[in-house]
Amino acid sequence: MTAVKIVVDHAKCTGLGICESIAEDVFEVTDDGSLNLLAQDICPSRRAEMQEVIDSCPTEALTLVD
């Protein structure tokens, strides 16, 4: 299976940290409020979890790419 990728639009991201609270091994909000991806290639078995993260982002800053 090919990994899926998470893409962050940093211009939209406000660093609220909802994504980090759902998947802390993938997302990290730094002290200055910027978002770091700890993993860009995500196992396809986590697709539903990543979709939850994307759907939870109030600024629509995250995209899942096959």
The domain spans of the chain are 4-65
> What percent of the chain shows pLDDT beyond 90?
91
7 close to 61: Cβ distance less than 8 angstroms: no
Using alpha carbons only, what angle is made at residue 31 by residues 25 and 37, rounded to the nearest 5 degrees? 30
List pLDDT tens digits, range 27-50: 999 999 999 999 978 999 999 999
Q: Is 8 helix (H, G, I), strand (E, B) or coil?
A: strand
The architecture CATH gives domain 4-65: 2-Layer Sandwich (3.30)
The pLDDT value given to residue 40: 79
pLDDT over threshold 80, residue 1: no
Q: What is the DSSP string of 15-60?
A: ---HHHHH-TTTEEE-TTS-EEES-SEE-GGGHHHHHHHHHH-TT-
